[in-house]
Chain A
């Protein structure tokens, strides 16, 4: 990993944390990156890996690695934050009823996981 990424602070958000199978289409998951350094850097967010119950998610990998992005996604100035929300990944990430642990790993660091509960109905 490039040293410039050491100053990039990454956060993962998800909502709602409790939902039914049918409500998965309303599930939203976001990533936000803030540059705590003194120079503009490419945060290389396509390197952020999401594990769902311990298994690296291909769905997440393709979602974060593809699509249109604002300029800050590739050149994040000091003190600024760039974020992106997906609202159509619920059924692919949360594959059925049960407990899901969503853990983000970026620049060799793992962010404390988010727990989502999916009820049958």
Chain B
């Protein structure tokens, strides 16, 4: 559990030290010297003047065998004319209740970060859920996310906002408070991991693969997020593809449907990247889809927000009918003679 407490205010020490009790001086220290150090030279002088007869036995106090009268002590050079600030003063009340310690906050994310960062992390993905626990119950507030406030309680179940933000979580217990800073991150990049090649059939030009999209950064979880590809035009149309197809025919029609991202930042469904059935004769050619991807928190409505780094799907064919597709760092290449 991550712990964070606001720096405690200076508090007055009220507990008397045992050495301030006359007659219980710390070992090796003359009781009078000890008094001098604790209540001051002048106070000791006054005490001794009042009671000097008793100390010297002139008022009839009998000294025991071996006892020696105590001389009025000289001023202790180590003692400050003022009393030791740690010593109890007349106004001090040893029984006064202690001031409560300032509260502390610990936090735990619902989802584990895919890269293994602890659940006490203070960086979270958009829409991530975090439980804050106070050292005491109190009023909770969040500068963003939901809920914004909670009147009381030792725990605060919070959901990060839909967009990147720096958020302060505050716990107020009486006049004391503690805060915790949270940084909310959006997905910034998609990397594809190929899971298999798609069979095309010998004699047909083409290539295809399944891949799983992984959403970065992985130091936070996007388990409460969904994402979609957005349709768009083909670019970089050259050679074979320019000769055989129109730009409209090569458009990317992704379906534009949001799919959930799992707690480990993998998409919940597989992507299919495939090109096949193109007619002979073949020659070198290319075209690209530079695919925007949008994300949104699962509970949100709308078109989402663009993930900054777009995914490029590049298709390439050569004169032998060998096709190569690369997408989000994954790739597949297949000769026309292969299955």
A6 to B199, CA, bound (A): 17
CA distance A74 to B198 in the complex (A): 10
Query: Is B275 a contact of A65 with CB atoms below 8 Å?
Result: yes
Contacts of A52-93 to chain B: CB distance below 8 A: 56, 58-59, 61-63, 65-71, 73-74, 84, 86, 88-89, 92
Instruction: Give the shortest distance, in Å, between B274 (CB) and chain A (any CB).
Output: 4
In the bound complex, residues from chain A placing their C-beta under 8 Å from that of B250 are 58, 62
* Given A46-B208, A49-B277, A74-B210, also A69-B253 (CB < 8 A): no
CB distance from B222 to the nearest CB of A (A): 15
Q: Is the CB of A66 within 8 A of B249?
A: no
- Contact for B255 among A56, A71, A74, A84, CB less than 8 A: A84
Q: Give chain A residues whose Cβ lies under 8 Å from the Cβ of B84.
A: none
Residues of B contacting A47 in the complex (Cβ-Cβ under 8 angstroms): 201
| Contact in complex: B256, A66 (CB < 8 Å) | no
| B272 partner, pick from A1, A46, A49, A88, beta carbons under 8 A | A46
Q: Mark A12-39, 1 if CB is under 8 A from B, else 0.
A: 0000000000000000000000000000
Q: Does B1 contact A (CB under 8 A)?
A: no
Chain A hits for B270, CB < 8 A: 68-69, 71, 73-74
Q: Which residues of B contact A71 (CB under 8 A)?
A: 269-270
CB nearest neighbor in A for B251: A92
| Closest beta carbon of chain A to B85's beta carbon, Å | 71
* B208 partner, pick from A65, A68, A89, A92, beta carbons under 8 A: A65
Residues of A within 8 A of B (CB): 1-2, 44, 46-47, 49, 56, 58-59, 61-63, 65-71, 73-74, 84, 86, 88-89, 92
A67-B276 contact, Cβ under 8 Å, with A44-B199, A58-B250, A62-B250: no
Total interface residues on B, using CB and 8 Å? 31
Most B-side CB within 10 Å, residue of A58, A61, A86: A58
Interface flags for B134-147 (1: CB within 8 Å of A; 0: not) read: 00000000000000
Residue in chain B with minimal CB distance to A84: B255
Q: List 26 A-B contacts (CB under 8 A).
A: A46-B272, A46-B276, A58-B245, A58-B249, A59-B249, A61-B277, A62-B250, A62-B252, A65-B275, A66-B273, A67-B253, A67-B254, A67-B255, A67-B271, A68-B228, A68-B229, A68-B254, A68-B257, A68-B267, A73-B270, A73-B272, A74-B270, A84-B255, A86-B253, A86-B255, A88-B231
- Nearest A residue to B313 via CB reads A66
Give every chain B residue within 8 A of A84 (Cβ-Cβ): 255
Across-interface contacts of A68 in B (CB, < 8 A): 228-229, 254-255, 257, 259, 267, 269-272
In the bound complex, CA of A13 to CA of B213 (Å): 30
- Which 5 A-B pairs rank lowest in CB-CB distance, beginning with the nearest? A65-B274, A58-B249, A63-B253, A67-B255, A67-B254
Minimal Cβ-Cβ distance residue in B for A44: B199
B181 to chain A, nearest CB (A): 36
Please name all residues of chain B whose beta carbon is closer than 8 Å to the beta carbon of A61 when the two chains form the complex.
Answer: 276-277
Give bound CA distance, A68 to B253, whole Å.
11
Q: How far is the CA of A86 from the CA of B249 in the complex (A)?
A: 15
> Are B272 and A69 touching (Cβ within 8 A)?
yes
B71 CB within 8 Å of chain A: no
Report the minimal beta-carbon distance from B69 to chain A, rounded to whole angstroms: 100
| Residue B67 lies at the interface, judged by CB distance under 8 Å to chain A | no
A89 touches B245 (CB 8 A): no
* Residues of the A chain whose Cβ atoms lie less than 8 Å from the Cβ of B248: 59, 92
Q: Could you tell me the distance in whole angstroms from the C-beta of B190 to the nearest C-beta in chain A?
A: 12
